[in-house]
Structure 1
Amino acid sequence: MTARKIPLIPTLFILPSILFLGLFIYFPLVQNLYNSFFQFSVFSPTKEFVGFASFQQLLQDKVIVAAFINNVKYAVISVFFQVFFALVLATILEDKVFRRIAPALRVIYFMPVMISISVIALLFTFVYNPQMGLLNSFLELIGLENLAVPWLGNATTAIYAVIAMSQWQSIGFITMLFIVAIQKIPKDLYEAADIDGAGKIRKFFNITVPQVKETMFVNVLITVTGSILVFNEPFILTGGGPGFSSTTLSVLMYEQGFGKDNMGYASVIATLIFVLSAIFALIQIRVSGTGKDD
């Protein structure tokens, strides 16, 4: 029995991607896990082995719990707006009623995606300004001045203000992905539903949603993973404050590593972020059953 030869050409094609993943993904993961067992400074030439001491510190750190809860809030709200609401928005834009103005609306919704997060954070700093901000001015204009608060300076509202900014920027991207998926749905399905007398809502739940299941899975995966890794929005807009009210795991990791020069504990937090991302991704794959034949 002859040994099976490995095809040369396909191997050469996939070799660069394997090397890239190994060098920039898997090696840093292993190196970060290794660093988790040491205590060291970013400028220190030596590392002090501490074993599982940093992991024990992680279990006793109350800030970790607060940061994780903020990430969960981020994920839940983002899934609702960036996935379910974006699907509804994409369905409306693909409706015959909006066919003439749909291209312009797509551009309007997608424009925030192309703007730098730093510029958007600066813009929303003015929006949330307690004295002259657009949001509080609007609330006062419509007679709801009692709801006007310092959105970024209030421990209760800070995280929600950051999340709202993120939804404004990101919903256009997810909407465009759904639009592409909806355009690939066979028109015969909708024509048959029209013959049966189905309304728009029934066609949405019985045709559109099942037909974009794969795209929905991808969008949920992108949204949840992004919510666990989120750093730019809270760091630029609030710096994680006031206190730790808007701190996320990534912001806390940055503060420990580069603010307090505690690279060992920062590595532990990075390991936690990776584990959580992997767990949520596996759960989503398991629950969605994507890729399986119906």
Structure 2
Amino acid sequence: MRTILRRALGFAWVLPALVLVGVFVYLPLVQNFGFSTLKWDIYSGSQEYVGLANYLKLLDDDVFWTSIWNNVLYAVVSIVFQVFGALVLAALIESIRSVRWQRALRAIYFIPSAISMTVAGLLFYFIYEPNLGPLNHLLTAVGLGRFDQSWLGQESTAMPAIIAMSQWQGFGYSTLLFAVAIQRIPSEIYHAAALDGTGPIRRFVHVTVPLVREMTGLMMMVTISGAFQVFNEVMVMTSGGPNNSTQVLGTWLYRSGFVRNNFGYAAAIATVLFVITMGIAVAQLWVTRRKRVEW
């Protein structure tokens, strides 16, 4: 009886949180799926049930597939730089013997992450400006003037330019998290590996990488999910142009709903975006749990 009362009391404590999550998270998800089955003009208020027509329309939407490709490209580059690159940099910083230099380098790399994404986008919009921006002037100054171009005005360079800006902005945050994870590794393990004659590269591969696997899994999940929720940087720098070459799922969702006034279609895009991010999260959690059991 006492055990039942304890469980009931525990459930009573978490019940308000469950209600809030249900009302503000799960209920909107269900409502969004319902909206995706409508042809909905929000300005006139007219609604027409169309079933799965909006989802079938996605299959023939070239901009939708361009958006998915841009999100995938964003995710791949982010994994390379913000996960593996940040892990290597964090290991290099933590290998420095001077505590003062360690703190200074952590601060230097973290400063871009303290800048909001909107401000960073505006900053790089000016840097990429073809006539007044410093990037083209720098290329000319070092004898590489032939590479001068309108970085955000060409389909071939606009998306890579946006991705480069986002890596600069988020790289330091990932590095700091990996540095904290490395600090939690007992120093005795590194001393034992050094006594066995293990070099720094092998210590990194066989000691550091396995012992920060949980942080690596978390960063993989956060990075990939974040790559599919990109919005601010694209809206600030190109608004999806030129010629929709930099559209991502978030911006195409916004344009479909608030510019083209097709909220049912926008809801369908949102549903696809939710399914993708949820699938990635579940897969990553499954892989992480399986590796934890194996190790």
TM-score after normalising by structure 2:
0.95
In structure 2, C-alpha distance between the alignment counterparts of 1:290 and 1:231, rounded to whole Å = 33
Per-residue CA deviations over 1:10-67 (Å, capped at 9, x if unaligned) read: 2233223212211111111000001011111223434211111111111111111111
Structure 1 2/216 Cα, relative in aligned 2: closer, same or farther at 3 Å?
A: closer
In structure 2, C-alpha distance between the alignment counterparts of 1:152 and 1:98, rounded to whole Å = 41
1:97 Cα shift?
3.8
Aligned to 1:45: 45
Aligned to 1:65: 65
Matched-pair contact (CA < 8 Å) for 2:37–2:264: yes
1:187 maps to a residue whose letter is S
Aligned to 1:16: 16
- Of 281-290 and 3-12, more deviation after overlay is shown by 3-12
1:80 Cα shift?
0.4
1:95 maps to a residue whose letter is S
1:234 maps to a residue whose letter is V
Alignment of 1:1-294 (within 5 A): 4=4, 7-288=7-288, 289=290, 291-292=292-293, 294=295
In structure 1, C-alpha distance between the alignment counterparts of 2:25 and 2:235, rounded to whole Å = 24
1:136 Cα shift?
1.4
Matched-pair contact (CA < 8 Å) for 1:83–1:216: yes
2:269 maps to a residue whose letter is I
Per-residue CA deviations over 1:60-91 (Å, capped at 9, x if unaligned) read: 11111111000010000000000000001111
In structure 2, C-alpha distance between the alignment counterparts of 1:290 and 1:4, rounded to whole Å = 35
Structure 1 263/18 Cα, relative in aligned 2: closer, same or farther at 3 Å?
A: same
In structure 1, C-alpha distance between the alignment counterparts of 2:29 and 2:192, rounded to whole Å = 51
1:293 Cα shift?
5.8
1:194 maps to a residue whose letter is A
Matched-pair contact (CA < 8 Å) for 2:96–2:102: no
Matched-pair contact (CA < 8 Å) for 1:54–1:268: yes
Any unmatched runs of 5+ in structure 2? none
- SS of 1:292's partner is helix
- Of 127-136 and 83-92, more deviation after overlay is shown by 127-136
- Of 2-11 and 281-290, more deviation after overlay is shown by 2-11
RMSD of aligned Cα (Å): 1.8
Higher helix share: 2
- SS of 1:229's partner is coil
Per-residue CA deviations over 1:261-282 (Å, capped at 9, x if unaligned) read: 1000000000010111112222
- Of 221-230 and 18-27, more deviation after overlay is shown by 18-27
- Of 156-165 and 105-114, more deviation after overlay is shown by 105-114
In structure 2, C-alpha distance between the alignment counterparts of 1:287 and 1:158, rounded to whole Å = 34
Matched-pair contact (CA < 8 Å) for 1:214–1:290: no
Structure 1 23/293 Cα, relative in aligned 2: closer, same or farther at 3 Å?
A: farther
Matched-pair contact (CA < 8 Å) for 1:93–1:99: no
In structure 2, C-alpha distance between the alignment counterparts of 1:61 and 1:164, rounded to whole Å = 27
Alignment coverage as a number of residue pairs: 294
1:167 Cα shift?
0.6
In structure 1, C-alpha distance between the alignment counterparts of 2:55 and 2:250, rounded to whole Å = 17
1:157 Cα shift?
0.6
2:293 maps to a residue whose letter is K
